[in-house]
A and B are shown apart, each in its own frame.
Chain A
């Protein structure tokens, strides 16, 4: 029963809204709690009307939220992970709902995106058109509403190329959304690393600095990140699933618990962690060099630079703490499994009293 209570608590905290509330009358389309699976309904008339009105033209910050369906998330993460260390990309289909963009489905594009190609999407236009047509026939009526790609191992943000691609998209294919997934960090941290972004139009200055969650960026990418990080803003992501989905996923747990117990994050992520640590070491050296310079020239060093060094070191500390925490979690799982399954001695004596999964004989 604790599992149920825990589930309800987490559900509240995470804004996951299962679609089984009863129909609520006229304003059903614009409320955040749609009626039974109504979010799956594609209302063509309302969508075309919204397209013609174009309320986003006057407000660069118009779209604030993203709702991603369980299916789209699963597909995107699996596709991103299957690419290994190569960036992969795909498109998302969905619709808009007031100031939220709803992503219903995603599909992969047969394109190898590298950071140096400006418009990898151009190669896949034929594929896109074919796929969209077949989908419409099969009953998937939504339009393409965004694109996603993966940044394996270096975090969820938009690089310079990504920013220019997205700005182009936002000029000609509105409403359009950019989503970035990091499959390596997902697996390492045990939670999905995903970000949704929209760029500001050229020359627009955001009224206030948006507070974004801190994430560690490897040294070789940090310049690219810093130059462009003010040109886009991130949107909140929530997830939704249908009643049938919830039902299936609940039942799935009956078979799935085995996988949860048997997963060993330490084994799978050795390379990535080693890379992180060496990157951290480089950053530390850099910080040390700056510090030693400032020691010899206290007269000409502005106080500002001192502050930067300190925050640099603080960042490094935070990164190292994060890596360690993940490692410790992995180790905890290993130790628990060891105690559960290994601390048993073969003995010819008969069974002791029933006590669940404790080892038969304590070693």
Chain B
């Protein structure tokens, strides 16, 4: 089912969507498997709560509500929204949906209601597709996919694999599109996976960094700020370094003949190298130096301000010291009030 797509659309995914889906999943999972202590204390209430929730969630976990201790993986469903410009599909946000286990479809009324609400706050976003959790796309997903086709003629299906695998290097998210393929003479819609890139705005990047990579939460001293900033850049450069090393070893192996020569890869590497230097023109140098000078100027101004403030304090202290001698007696000032 998962060949690679040939539709030519590029997908951009925002980290907010990932955190959304992950939170939805953790929430549902935790409501179904309440922590042991709380579970014992409030057994009856949790059973009722779970029953209320389960009516709306996937059918395979309905039986495990009140006696579960092993982790059962509920499937959660929802909708992704974003913008499509030409051939680029950018997925910005997502929200939850209700799944009807009997008809294997998502509740349409609920979807429309939620869509209205989200339109009010984010008027530019359209429904681009839907998401779910699990390890692989399943047959029943196709029915949901087809149902969404009347809102968007080629919806995307974002699948998150919630199993935490520490050896994994890649994001456990796959984006599927549907394509019409002829199998055994019968045209059928099947899922094909597509590649995607992670896209972000500066504010999102900073908050993701903040939560994931632990920049210092309060001001700290100038030294810690500097350290944090440089550490971030340092890690990024280390990643760059390791990636280039990998490429380099691969090329060496090709040169020695251990690996068959792959011309398309060689072309890509060569075009990459030819792109350096990234920008080389007189105009860039001018602008760059101007920016440099601006920053130096600001530093100069700040230092001047600092100096004048220190001078001011010194002069005031001086004056106070002197004034006391020239006034009648000590502490003459307070006598005036």
Please classify how large the interface on chain B is, using the bins under 10, 10 to 19, 20 to 34, 35 or more: 35 or more
Is A190's CB under 8 angstroms from B215's CB?
yes
- Bound: A260/B18 CA distance, A: 18
Those of B21-63 within 8 Å (CB) of chain A? 22-31, 34-38, 42, 45-46, 49, 53, 56-57
Q: Once the chains are docked, how many angstroms separate the CA of A284 from the CA of B240?
A: 45
Q: How far is the CA of A258 from the CA of B231 in the complex (A)?
A: 15
B183 is an interface residue with CB less than 8 A from chain A: no
Whether A252 contacts B30 by the Cβ 8 Å rule is no
Query: Is B254 in the interface zone, CB < 8 Å from A?
Result: no
Stretch at the interface among A53-61, A165-173, A197-205, A327-335: A327-335
B45 touches A268 (CB 8 A): no
Contact of A341 among B38, B45, B117, B278 (CB under 8 A): B278
B35 close to A245 (CB less than 8 A): no
How long is the Cα–Cα vector from A251 to B162 in the complex, in angstroms?
Answer: 13
Chain B: which residue is nearest A105 at the CB level? B23
Give every chain A residue within 8 A of B244 (Cβ-Cβ): 356-357
User: Is B323 interfacial (CB 8 A cutoff)?
Assistant: yes
Q: Does B121 contact A (CB under 8 A)?
A: yes
Q: Is B120 an interface residue (CB 8 A)?
A: yes
Given contacts A183-B203, A320-B301, A321-B306, contact A250 B236 (CB under 8 A): no
Asked if A191 meets B277 with Cβ closer than 8 Å, knowing A247-B164, A291-B312, A314-B309, the reply is: no
Collect the chain B residues with CB atoms within 8 Å of residue A228's CB. none
User: Is there a chain B Cβ closer than 8 Å to A220's Cβ?
Assistant: no
Q: How large is the interface on A (under 10, 10 to 19, 20 to 34, 35 or more residues)?
A: 35 or more
Given A244-B25, A245-B19, A249-B212, are A329 and B229 also a contact pair (CB < 8 Å)? Answer: yes
List the interface of chain B (C-beta within 8 A of A): 15-16, 18-20, 22-31, 34-38, 42, 45-46, 49, 53, 56-57, 76, 95-98, 110, 113-114, 117, 120-122, 162, 164, 168-172, 197-198, 200-219, 222, 225-226, 228-233, 235-241, 244-245, 248, 252, 273, 276-280, 288, 291-292, 294-295, 298-299, 301-302, 305-306, 308-309, 312-313, 316, 320, 323, 333, 336-337
A residues apposed to B, CB below 8 Å: 3, 6-7, 10-11, 13-14, 16, 23, 25-29, 34-38, 40-46, 69-71, 73-75, 77-81, 104-105, 107-110, 127, 130-131, 134-135, 137-141, 183, 186-187, 190-192, 213, 237, 239, 241-261, 263, 265-266, 268, 277, 284, 291, 298-300, 302-303, 306, 310, 313-314, 316-317, 320-321, 323-325, 327-336, 338, 340-345, 354, 356-357, 359-360
Task: Give 11 CB contacts A-B under 8 Å.
Answer: A35-B37, A40-B29, A73-B211, A139-B57, A141-B31, A244-B26, A252-B15, A253-B212, A260-B209, A320-B305, A324-B299
